[in-house]
Structure 1
Amino acid sequence: MYENYSRQALPSKEYRALLGSAVCVFNSNNSFIIENILSHDDNNKYSWYNLIDGPSGELALSIKETITKKSGTKIASLFNEVVGMRNRIIHSFQVTYKDEQVLATKKKNGEQSIITEVYLYDFIEKNEALSILLNDFRGD
């Protein structure tokens, strides 16, 4: 598929909408995680600037010292899972699959897979579950 703003082949509008939604829900949760870290940082060890500038995967220690310390491992575990899924999306490459442009990913072991609409919906749903957990935690 082509658009008037690009002569490059693009995935369908629906697929691109899911990709955009996936990025947005993750970014929202990344900010929400940081908000919760800062609001439960009893020693004022962390700053918004340092947390927002770092890679999402490197939030693990600050999550452990704040959120996990007060609520258990559920939030940290789910955040780690969505970070891994997000990495597969962000570090993907475009391919033609079943006559459509889509994204594919390669794991470190060399295994390649298509980032399907099902994968994107699953990612969005996991981010929704994470958002609910973060909202409940914030309410404590």
Structure 2
Amino acid sequence: MKILIGNDHAGTELKFEIMEHLQEEGYEVENFGTDTTERVNYPEIGQKVAEALMAGDGDLGILICGTGVGITLAANKVPGIRAACCSDTTTAHLVREHNHANILGIGARIVGPELAKDIVDSYLNAVPQGGRHQTRIDMITEIEKKYNK
């Protein structure tokens, strides 16, 4: 499985820790983020990862900024993206299982590195469910289509 990862300046250190963790677990990782702490604009990084994911360049994405919120909001503007910011393992598992989130957002100023790795593992180990969940995902897709003509 290939994971696309992106970050702004606030998420650089955490990104490197997560990348190392993912690679140790056998995932292929492509880095779209900055590798320094010099300021960058998180919407550009969120957009790059989201567009690459929708182009089929990876299987899932991870985005990291100070809170995880801004970069996730930017990614969600790309049609087909369902990005969710998580700061606990239960939510990370459920957004993948119930909401079929294809991008996980994490706040580097909100969670520490060990919890962040647990959140990533919980997200990646979850399996999207069908049934009533798929019905709701289809409803979200219809809303998206209505506003992205």
TM-score range normalised by the length of the shorter chain: under 0.3
Larger Rg belongs to: 1
After TM superposition, the score normalised by the length of structure 1 is 0.27
After TM superposition, the score normalised by the length of structure 2 is 0.26
- If asked which structure has higher relative contact order (CA below 8 Å, sep 6+), I would say 1
Q: Which has the higher strand share?
A: 2
